[in-house]
Structure 1
């Protein structure tokens, strides 16, 4: 299955096969611009290899309940031999407006979007987003990993912009995205637990979600979801956006799908999806992950209908016993 498998540690679960060693059935599932993409029956639950600016106009309009948009950050970066070169702020804003113009007709009138960025990219991104959508919030994801710097603070954060098409008509399932935290000083009222619960694993409180996400690690080599993609988003992070702003049976659109994390997470959570990605290799990795999701719907860090903090695997297992 994997040309590099023999050289890896047994604990290394990274998906990074090349196209010549793609698992059986993967390549046959890849859609392209040459296929008929004009109806929902043809594009629902499909991963499409191609340029989003060419593919999006072919898709039917007003089909997506939620869009997850992870465009190239305004940095010099290489993705499977494809280069994105840092632009001036004005040029990056023009690039952003271009993908917005392509994706907007595909969204339902009550759709939501999440747009990912680093802090520098956000400076140019925010004014363009505000002209085209309702900005509901800016989420800070503490991803921790980042290169240390001797003359500046280490960059361990990313921005996630929460946007809607309509200021009042949109989906937000607050009870689906609560975080379970351990109670250090349990408070009682009239002898009864107040706002916390006793479980097999200890005392916990399910807290309301905030716009600071400190419970999500980036994928790493021992996680089954990990791939060779250089900027892969965690399934746990995407699960928060999907659960909050869509319902079972809704459709999630990702025009920069990378290694398919958003599509896999949507499938695991009972949503439909459409993904577009320029790299055929990344599409193949994503389809392989989608195939594995037929048998494994688990999302690391999300169990019992709540999100758990980092390094709480033992507590989660104890709570399920």
Structure 2
């Protein structure tokens, strides 16, 4: 095996090497009380585990189900299917997890542009759709006969129109290139030693996200890992401190890790014990280093601006 660079922070140990982390995950095979699952990684099949969880305990649910693509997840392959079958799968998992969501709770669903067209109509039958976010993941394979696919969607829905949304917690700090002044003073921007900046309200197009890569401590060998910065936007906007954030397709743990860093309670289900072990390793790391790359000074920063950030 090729030796990794000293700058390569990717978490990629085997199940045997990470046994102490894998052993921290719990199994749920009978009805449990809320305190049993809070701040825990649950190892098991989502469709079976949710049968035993308390109803209505989730304040914010973030779901990243397998996209309708053939992809192997360290020994388990999700196979692409036709639209009708994937639609039926979406109905099935939504019907399984929605009873866990509180009456004021929100749900975010990650998807690519193709599965987005299938998920949207199903979600509209079951919830109140508030928005569809598109984020620029930048990374992607080039294509000679089509446009490079560098965007993904996130559906934002709630049970009712009474839901949490903390817009001031998710402002984006942008450089001001053509500063406008009134009576010689900055208008809607701040002049600093580092430059001129404006804190703007967020839109449903996110172009400030960086996909985790090998030199970032949050990176794992999971093939579809989402960035902590992306989860932080969702968690800060749609939950309050001490709320419960739940992920039914936890993967390598980005939702739980980010929720922990932001002072939320969390729980998640993952069927692959290796991914559960990586999640527990990351949760341990969060105790020593709770920062989130791209989020500092209580605002989200544009790409390539670390030199301006105070607490990075």
| Same fold, judged at TM 0.5 (above) | yes
Q: Could you tell me how far 1:254 is from its partner in structure 2?
A: 0.1
Q: Deviations over 1:199-237 (max 9, x none)?
A: 232110000100000000100000000000000000000
Alignment of 1:74-153 (within 5 A): 74-153=68-147
Aligned to 2:175: 182
Q: Could you tell me how far 1:138 is from its partner in structure 2?
A: 0.6
What is the alpha-carbon distance in structure 2 between the residues aligned to residue 270 and residue 13 of structure 1? 25
Preserved contact between residue 257 and residue 279 of structure 2 (Cα < 8 Å): yes
| Pairing partner for 2:57 from 63, 66, 69 | 63
| Pairing partner for 1:252 from 234, 237, 245 | 245
Alignment of 1:33-52 (within 5 A): 33-34=28-29, 38-52=32-46
Q: Tell me the secondary structure at the aligned position of residue 104 of structure 2.
A: strand
Aligned to 1:29: 24
What is the alpha-carbon distance in structure 2 between the residues aligned to residue 223 and residue 84 of structure 1? 27
What is the alpha-carbon distance in structure 2 between the residues aligned to residue 180 and residue 213 of structure 1? 13
What is the alpha-carbon distance in structure 2 between the residues aligned to residue 280 and residue 138 of structure 1? 32
Q: Deviations over 1:60-118 (max 9, x none)?
A: 11100000000000111111111111121111111111111111110000100110000
Aligned to 2:8: 12
Cα 1:224–1:37 change in 2 (3 A) is: farther
What is the alpha-carbon distance in structure 2 between the residues aligned to residue 268 and residue 201 of structure 1? 27
| Pairing partner for 1:273 from 266, 270, 282 | 266
| Pairing partner for 2:187 from 194, 214, 232 | 194
Preserved contact between residue 260 and residue 285 of structure 1 (Cα < 8 Å): yes
Cα 1:37–1:218 change in 2 (3 A) is: farther
TM-score, normalised relative to structure 1: 0.95
Preserved contact between residue 201 and residue 316 of structure 1 (Cα < 8 Å): no
What is the alpha-carbon distance in structure 2 between the residues aligned to residue 254 and residue 234 of structure 1? 15
Consecutive unaligned residues of structure 2, counting only runs of 5 or more, are none
Q: Tell me the secondary structure at the aligned position of residue 49 of structure 2.
A: helix
Task: Please tell me the root mean square deviation across aligned C-alpha atoms, in Å.
Answer: 1.4
Q: Tell me the secondary structure at the aligned position of residue 105 of structure 1.
A: helix
Aligned to 1:156: 150
Q: Deviations over 1:31-78 (max 9, x none)?
A: 1134x6511110000001111000011111110000000000011111
Preserved contact between residue 22 and residue 274 of structure 2 (Cα < 8 Å): no
What is the alpha-carbon distance in structure 2 between the residues aligned to residue 227 and residue 200 of structure 1? 36
Aligned to 1:304: 297
Q: Tell me the secondary structure at the aligned position of residue 16 of structure 2.
A: helix
Preserved contact between residue 165 and residue 238 of structure 2 (Cα < 8 Å): yes
Q: Deviations over 1:225-250 (max 9, x none)?
A: 00000000000000000000000000
Q: Tell me the secondary structure at the aligned position of residue 21 of structure 1.
A: coil
Aligned to 1:294: 287
